[in-house]
Amino acid sequence: MNKHLRNILIALACFILVVILNFLLPRMLPGDPVAYLSGFAEEDMTPAKYEYYREALHLDEGLFRQFLYYLKSLADGSLGYSFKKEMIVSDLIKERIGATLQIALPSLVISSGLGLVFGLYFGMKKDSKEDKVFGVTNMVVNAMPSFLIALVLLAALSFKLEIFPYSGLSKAGMFPGRSGFLLDRIHHLVLPVLTLTLGVLPSRYLMVRNNAAKEAGEKYVLYARQRGLSERKIRYLYVFKNIAQPFITMTGMSVSLCVGGSLVIENIFSINGMGKLLTEAVYTLDYPLMQGVLFVSTGVMVIAVIITDVLCILADPRQRREAAYDRK
């Protein structure tokens, strides 16, 4: 079976697993499912209220019927109801996901780009002195938890030097449409994006570097060098083509890493994104909301994997042409 098709199937299986996990968790764990699903403790509810929730959550019906109701809530895009916030879960997430993506996507692009540039450069010079020095630096950054990176950057750049703001995404009184909004937004995004980029860069770099190091000894590189091509041309026109596949796959995988990392960072920079929503949900024991966030982030991950696998097929001329022959 084609490797990429298999990857897509695995991503879908992962998605289904999360759906089933979401469904079973509140029902199987010790404790009253009504309490889990409404988010209120049993003692705080009047019997009438209790009955109301039981009814509203379809808990009297069979497990299979309940599962169908759950699937229906996913299919119509509501993802359930948060009784704590008295809002539909998907509306809550829709409000917040923008902020998360504004941090996650730039970091994804920048870290992949830098990983590629540095990885190719040092991979081609494997075991040289500069490669080793950079390798150790990389190791040290890799050992830093992302909250430490954030705190160090905050200490240096926003408290000591006061260059960047330390919280939020906009200045007070800023709203979309006002002049200077975009600049102000970028100014606020620099530190969170930098933190996340530094957090995911080491693993990206290492992966590109190791793949490039494998290619460095190949004969086509030697031949290209003999023809007098510049090192840069060799790196980007020859070696890059041969490591493009793992690079694309890796970029897709790092989407979920970036979204996950954004959750931590939002809490430090007080940004109202999905991560803040999740921690709020955890502190108020709003279980439907937590499940919604898990569902959406798994969904984002699955979409990323599918896109990258399609890209991998398109990027590889062998597979692209094979598909064209099949169609004839």
At what angle are helices 63-75 and 3-28 packed, to 10 degrees? Answer: 120
The residue among 105, 152, 144, 120 whose CA lies nearest residue 273 is 105
Closer to another protein by Cβ: residue 73 or 146: 146
Question: Torsion over CA of 106, 91, 75 and 276, rounded to 10 degrees?
Answer: 50
Instruction: Give min distance, CB of 13 to another protein, in A.
Output: 6
DSSP string, 217-251: TSHHHHHHHHTT--HHHIIIIIIHHHHHHHHHHHH
Q: Segment contacting another protein (CB under 8 A): 100-108, 184-192, 211-219, 295-303?
A: 295-303
Rule CB under 8 A: is residue 191 a binding residue for another protein? Answer: no
Among 269, 291, 308, 309, binds another protein (CB under 8 A): 291
Among 46, 48, 64, 140, binds another protein (CB under 8 A): 140
Using DSSP's 3-state secondary structure scheme, residue 88 falls into: strand
Cβ atoms 246, 212 nearer than 8 A: no
Q: CB 168: neighbour CB atoms within 10 A? A: 14
Instruction: Give min distance, CB of 95 to another protein, in A.
Output: 18
Closer to another protein by Cβ: residue 82 or 224: 82
Instruction: Give min distance, CB of 18 to another protein, in A.
Output: 7
Neighbouring residues of 2: CB distance < 8 A, sequence distance ≥ 6: 313, 319
Applying the rule CB under 8 A, the residues between 113 and 132 that interact with another protein are 127
Q: Segment contacting another protein (CB under 8 A): 13-21, 51-59, 104-112, 219-227?
A: 13-21
Instruction: Give min distance, CB of 283 to another protein, in A.
Output: 8
Neighbouring residues of 22: CB distance < 8 A, sequence distance ≥ 6: 70, 291, 294, 295
Instruction: Give min distance, CB of 322 to another protein, in A.
Output: 24
Cβ atoms 191, 158 nearer than 8 A: yes
Applying the rule CB under 8 A, the residues between 142 and 171 that interact with another protein are 142-148, 151-152, 154-155, 159
At what angle are helices 89-124 and 240-268 packed, to 10 degrees? Answer: 130
Which residues sit at the interface with another protein, rule CB under 8 A?
Answer: 7, 10-11, 13-14, 17-18, 21, 25-26, 29, 36, 127, 139-140, 142-148, 151-152, 154-155, 159, 253, 256, 259-261, 263-264, 267-268, 278-279, 281-283, 285, 287, 290-291, 293-294, 297-298, 301, 305
